[in-house]
């Protein structure tokens, strides 16, 4: 008998019929001889509708985050009750638990709280009494008894954290794809599903545009050593197992290729090459709540240098206005240049640590395909470049082939 | 500075705009120099929609009551958050509390739990910090941390119980009428609002068809001596104060006249006048979950008697089938007769205890109006009769006038 934590997203529980399908799947897992805790999100659309209501009652200011949490937590509470009912109706035995009832303690940072502790006493007791436990994702409770929510990707986090707390044998994150692929199959038709991937690779893939999961859930899993599987709720195919790295994993040089579109490039030319310049630039950007991605600084010439970075195109206007205010402090010659229509291509793999020539092989593949590289940035297990957005699919296919990732069966 | 508990029903918070109106009203009460706890129900329609969803996911059996409570409690949780947001948006300072957070402890009887204890520590602290407290009606928590709901009229009960627990100076139940009337103004245009009424009179009015509030909330208020006011959320007119009786109240013989339509009469003729007969009849009725109202047994003749009672017309088929099964045990001659198209007319007043002739005056008024009385039943502070349903309005007006209840201004 194994102890399994499963997680189903908002689409999987989006209608009463889908809730019943989900219930069948959960019950099936229990009837195969396992103890099951199933984490669910709010029914798709429900959270957006609650946010809309909040804006309608509070047209003049952002609603207090404490109250947003009280409001949004109702979404998952609704789903756990309905799914428990569906399981009971199908002949099973289920009970629901809110985050607070399940002993999920968080800090006080409303709307993006961190889990600080889990006391899984109620969960364990209910499992031992033969129940399927339906656990509300995305929510917890402070030490003072206030309702909190965990922010984006919060239900994945609930599942992984609970799996760690009860030392589950398996944590299954159900989604609408079969797992993590070597590249987006809509872009590279020869992409294959990755059977196993390390936490670090998964993190780099996530931060490079492969949005199967939010980084924070993967980071949490890594920190507490929780192995989990990303799999499809619509079929029974094995998924991708995300786990600690092992020797065998290093034999593969590149685990996957990820792409991120809708990027913009900001360059500040001719700034003095002295301490405090970068701090001034990125301090201003950070204050405007903008996430930057690749940052590249060239070697200086005549005491002047250029600093470039990428960001989401949607954030470009905010970034421009934030930078204009600090530009005067960056010397007389400092000038701002921006470019949209940029995309990012990354190759990721822990094998890079022990294999040389990864960057060279990537650049050669792009060159052969006639694609110009705009910026380059590397980390220990990733090489990322930006290219013209119109060429990103061609670039992805070329690099995917160069690293021998194409599906052998379809080749 | 007074401490006030207010309660707003589902219609008052039925749309974002109404929530804002409600918020204005609550804020106005605070700005008049008071501390305010406001209890709200689920937005109208929300509870019905949740029940519909529950039926859809559980088509084969009634959903577990534990899960119904988890589900339905989200309705009020949504409203408290939205109303708190609206108050904040209007420049006030509000926090929301669920039943559990507010320390409302109940027994374990899901879907119709009773409040066993209130620990209003959080409520008091939040009030002392200058907040308006938005409290979820209709819900509580068991000692074991399970979510419970209080059943019909639960939000009124929450308000009255909390008012008792924090020793509020005032408890205001807002509704869509100006208060309790001497009779339904749609039936008796000369009916007037009653400024003060005793708990017992309110209870008899409620059980006689004046459905301003559920009896259990009034009973709770009586038991714990919580004085409350029923008033209109749409205007600022003073309402009806419901309170312990006092000497002055007795000077009014009849406080009000109430009517209840859609009644049916069941008579079992010629049953033996011996112990156990009534028990057999009403045992069967009770087992079928039917509420009976007036019960009348005639004096026996030749060892045989007739037993009659009234019930809601909707319950008549269920009652007939329940009775047929016991009829054989009631002797050879026992026969069942039913009649629909019956209505009940009651006069209520604690003044009856010290004034004789109330029944006689009522019967005379009906007789003068040419209305035949079918059944009579009396209690210490009520005289109730049934009449043909088509004549109920005429009967109500005649009795209302006979007890000098007509509005002097419009007379």
Q: For the segment B80-99, what is each residue's pLDDT rounded down to a tens digit? A: 999 999 999 999 999 999 99
The last residue of a domain, from among A175, A206, A234 = A175
Query: Phi, psi at residue A375, to the nearest 5°?
Result: -135, 155
Identity of the residue in B71, B77, B85 whose CB atom sits nearest the CB atom of A64: B85
- Measured CA to CA, the distance from residue A197 to residue A242 in angstroms comes to 5
Q: Which residues from chain B sit within 8 angstroms of residue A95, using beta carbons? A: 66-67
**Which chain B residue lies closest to A50 (C-alpha atoms)?**
B78
Q: What is the CATH number of the domain that holds A317?
A: 3.30.2130.10
Chain B residues touching residue A129 (CB < 8 angstroms)? none
- Residue B325 confidence class, pLDDT cut points 50, 70, 90: confident
- CB–CB of A74 and B71 under 8 A? no
Tokens (6 digits) for B282: 């009403």
A150 and A277 in a single domain? The answer is no
Q: Which one of B66, B88, B122 has the shortest CB-CB distance to A58?
A: B88
Instruction: Indicate whether B138 and B282 sit together in one domain.
Output: no
Same domain, B152 and B62: yes
- Which pLDDT value is given to residue B411? 46
Interface contact flag, A63 B95, Cβ < 8 Å: no
d(CA B13, CA B23): 9
Tell me what the mean pLDDT of segment B55-73 comes to: 97
* Interior/surface letters B175-206, b for 16+ CB within 10 angstroms, e for the rest: bebbbbbbbbeebbebbbbbebbbbbbbbbbb
Higher pLDDT, B330 or B91: B91
Which residues from B are below 8 Å from A133, CB to CB?
Answer: none
Q: How many CB pairs (< 8 A) connect A and B?
A: 121
Whether residues B20 and B133 share a domain: the answer is yes
* Token pair in block for residue A171: 């944590």
The string of DSSP codes covering B238-269 is: --EEEE---GGGGGSS--EEEEEEEEEEEEEE
pTM of the full structure: 0.87
SS3 B386: strand
Q: Kindly identify which residue of chain B lies nearest to residue A69, measuring between CA atoms.
A: B81
Question: Distance between CA atoms of A341 and B96, rounded to whole angstroms?
Answer: 46
| A68 vs B contacts (CB less than 8 Å) | 81
Q: How far apart are CA A124 and CA A3, in angstroms?
A: 10
> How far away is chain A from the Cα of B80, in angstroms, using its nearest Cα?
8
C-alpha to C-alpha distance for B242 and B226, rounded to whole angstroms = 9
- Smallest Cβ–Cβ distance between B77 and the set A20, A70, A83 belongs to A70
Is A300 in the same domain as A390? Answer: yes
CB contact under 8 A, B58 and A89: yes
* A88/B57 touch (CB, cutoff 8 Å), yes or no: no
Question: Which residue range(s) make up the domain with B25?
Answer: 3-175
Alpha helices of B44-101 — where are they, by DSSP H? 46-57, 65-89
User: In this structure, are A20 and A169 located in the same domain?
Assistant: yes
Q: Which residues of B touch A63 (CB under 8 A)?
A: 85, 88-89
A195 domain-assigned: no
Q: By CA distance, what is B95's nearest residue in A?
A: A67
What is the rounded distance in angstroms from the CA atom of residue B221 to the CA atom of residue B401?
31
Distance from CA of B149 to the nearest CA of A (A): 14
Q: Between chains, do A81 and B67 touch, taking CB under 8 Å as contact? A: yes
Smallest Cα distance from B16 to chain A, Å: 5
What pLDDT, on the 0 to 100 scale, is given for residue A333? 86
Q: Which residue does chain A place closest to B63, by CA atoms?
A: A85
What CATH number is attached to the domain comprising A108? 3.40.1160.10
pLDDT band for position B296 (cuts 50, 70, 90): confident
Distance from CA of B46 to the nearest CA of A (A): 12
Q: Do B89 and A56 touch (CB under 8 A)?
A: no
Mark whether A284 and A157 lie in a shared domain. Answer: no
Q: What are the tens digits of pLDDT across the range B118-172?
A: 999 999 999 999 999 999 999 999 999 999 999 988 999 999 999 999 999 999 9
Show residues of chain B in contact with A84, CB under 8 Å.
64, 67, 70
- List residues of chain B with CB under 8 Å from any CB of chain A: 16, 19-20, 23, 50, 53-54, 56-61, 63-64, 66-68, 70-71, 73-74, 77-78, 80-86, 88-89, 95-96, 98, 101, 122, 145-147
Q: Which of A78, A85, A122 sits opposite B58 (nearest CB)?
A: A85
Closest CA to A319 of A266, A260, A388, A261: A266
Rounded mean pLDDT of chain A? 93
Q: Is A89 within 8 Å of B20 when comparing Cβ atoms?
A: no
Q: How confident is the model at residue B384 (pLDDT cuts 50, 70, 90)?
A: very high
**Under a CB-based contact definition with an 8 Å cutoff, are residues A167 and A3 in contact?**
yes
What proportions of chain B, in percent to the nearest 5, are helix, strand and coil? 40, 25, 35
Residue listed under structure tokens 């074991």: B144
* Cβ-Cβ contacts under 8 Å, B54 against chain A: 81-82, 85
Is B191 within a domain? no
At A411 the pLDDT is 46
Contacts of A16 in chain B (CB under 8 A): 53, 56-57
**Predicted local confidence at residue B333, as pLDDT:** 86
- pLDDT at residue B246 above 50? yes
Residue B390 lies in a domain: yes
Pure H helices in B58-153: 65-89, 121-128
Q: Does the residue B180 lie in any domain?
A: no
How far is B119 from chain A, CA to nearest CA, in Å?
A: 14
Cβ-contact B160, B220 below 8 angstroms: yes
On whether residue A153 sits in a domain, the answer given is: yes
Q: Per the domain annotation, does B100 fall within a domain?
A: yes
Looking at the structure, tell me whether residues B275 and B386 fall in a common domain. Answer: yes
What residue of A is the nearest CA neighbor of B47? A78
pLDDT exceeds cutoff 70 at B373:
yes
pLDDT score of A136: 98
Please, what sign has the CA dihedral across residues A222, A224, A227, A231?
Answer: negative
Taking CA–CA distances from B51, the nearest residue in chain A reads: A82
Beta strands in B92-179 (DSSP E): 94-97, 104-106, 115-118, 132-136, 139-141, 147-149, 170-175
Whether A61 and B96 lie within 8 Å, measured CB to CB: no
Give the whole-number percent of chain B exceeding pLDDT 70: 99
Minimal-distance CA residue of chain B relative to A53: B16
- Contact residues on chain A for B57, CB-CB shorter than 8 A: 16, 19-20, 23, 82-83, 85-86, 89
Last residue of a domain, one of B128, B144, B175: B175
What is the average pLDDT across B215-223? 93
Complete DSSP assignment for B327-345: HGGG-TT-EEEEEEEEEEE
Tell me, yes or no, whether A170 and A262 share the same domain.
no
Alpha-carbon gap: B93 to the closest alpha carbon of chain A (Å): 10
Are A215 and A206 spatial neighbours (Cβ–Cβ below 8 Å)?
Answer: yes
Q: What ipTM was assigned to the predicted interfaces of this complex?
A: 0.86
The residue among B399, B338, B340, B344 whose CA lies nearest residue B375 is B344
Q: b/e string for B144-161 if b means 16 or more Cβ within 10 A? A: eebbbbbbebbbbbbbbb
Contact between A80 and B89 using a beta-carbon 8 Å cutoff: no
Residue A131 in tokens: 């129940």
Residues 6 or more apart whose CB falls under 8 angstroms from that of B159 comprise B5, B6, B7, B39, B137, B171, B173, B228
Q: Are residues B48 and B157 in the same domain?
A: yes
Q: How far is CA A229 from the centre of its chain?
A: 14
pLDDT tens track of chain A, all 411 residues? 899 999 999 999 999 999 999 999 999 999 999 999 999 999 999 999 999 999 999 999 999 999 999 999 999 999 999 999 999 999 999 999 999 999 999 999 999 999 999 999 999 999 999 999 999 999 999 999 999 999 988 999 999 999 999 999 999 999 988 999 999 999 999 999 999 999 999 999 877 766 778 889 999 999 999 999 999 998 999 999 999 998 888 888 899 999 999 999 999 998 888 888 888 899 889 888 888 888 888 777 788 888 999 999 999 999 999 998 888 888 888 899 999 999 999 999 999 988 888 999 999 999 999 999 999 988 889 999 999 999 999 999 999 999 999 987 654
* pLDDT at site B7: 98
- C-alpha distance from B244 to closest chain A C-alpha (Å): 37
The answer to whether residue A261 is domain-embedded is yes
Neighboring chain A residues of B101 at a CB cutoff of 8 Å: 145-147
Same domain, A168 and A265: no
Measured between CA atoms, how close is A260 to chain B, in angstroms? 37
Of B408 and A292, the structure prediction assigns the larger pLDDT to A292
A101-120 in b/e form (b: 16+ CB < 10 A) is bbbbbbeeebbbbebeebeb
- In chain A, the number of structural domains is 2
- B60 Cα to chain A: minimum distance (Å): 6
State whether B163 and B37 are in the same domain.
yes
Domain boundary, last residue among B138, B157, B175 = B175
pLDDT digits (tens, 9 = 90+) for A28-75: 999 999 999 999 999 999 999 999 999 999 999 999 999 999 999 999
Mind telling me how many Å the CA of B217 is from chain A's nearest CA?
27
């Amino acid at each position: 008998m194994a102890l399994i934590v499963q997680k189903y997203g908002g689409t999987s529980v989006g209608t009463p019929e889908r809730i019943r399908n989900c219930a069948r799947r959960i019950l099936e897992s229990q009837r195969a001889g396992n103890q099951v805790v199933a984490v669910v999100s709010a029914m798709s659309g429900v959270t957006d509708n609650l946010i809309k209501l909040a804006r309608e009652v509070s047209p003049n200011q952002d609603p207090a985050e404490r109250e947003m949490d009280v409001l949004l937590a109702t979404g998952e509470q609704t789903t756990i009750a309905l799914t428990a009912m569906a399981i009971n109706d199908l002949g099973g035995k289920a009970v629901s638990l809110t985050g607070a009832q399940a002993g999920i303690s968080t800090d006080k940072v409303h709307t993006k709280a961190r889990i600080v502790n889990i006391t899984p006493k109620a969960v364990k007791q209910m499992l031992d009494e033969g129940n399927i436990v339906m656990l509300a994702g995305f929510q917890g409770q402070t030490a003072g008894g206030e309702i909190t929510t965990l922010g984006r990707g919060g239900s994945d986090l609930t599942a992984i954290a609970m799996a760690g707390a009860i030392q589950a044998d398996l944590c299954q994150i159900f989604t609408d794809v079969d797992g993590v692929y070597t590249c987006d199959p809509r872009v590279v038709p020869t992409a294959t599903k990755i059977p196993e991937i390390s936490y670090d690779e998964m993190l780099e893939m996530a931060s490079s545009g492969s949005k199967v999961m939010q980084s924070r859930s993967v980071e949490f899993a890594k920190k507490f050593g929780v192995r989990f599987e990303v799999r499809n709720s619509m079929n029974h195919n094995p998924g991708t197992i995300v786990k600690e790295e092992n020797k065998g994993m290093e034999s593969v040089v590149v685990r996957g290729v990820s792409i991120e579109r809708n990027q913009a490039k900001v360059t500040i030319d001719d700034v003095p090459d002295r301490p405090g310049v970068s701090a001034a630039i990125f301090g201003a950007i950070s204050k405007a709540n903008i996430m930057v991605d690749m940052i590249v600084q060239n070697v200086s010439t005549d005491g002047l240098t250029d600093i470039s970075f990428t960001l989401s195109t949607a954030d470009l206007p905010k970034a421009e206005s934030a930078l204009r205010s600090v530009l005067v402090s960056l010397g007389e010659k400092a000038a701002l240049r921006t470019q949209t229509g940029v995309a990012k291509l990354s190759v990721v793999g822990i094998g890079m640590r022990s294999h040389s020539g990864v960057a060279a092989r990537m650049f050669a593949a792009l060159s052969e395909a006639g694609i110009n590289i705009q910026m380059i940035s590397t980390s220990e297990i990733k090489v990322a470049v930006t290219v013209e957005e119109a060429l990103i699919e061609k670039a992805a296919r070329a690099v995917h082939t160069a690293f021998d990732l194409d599906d052998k069966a379809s080749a």
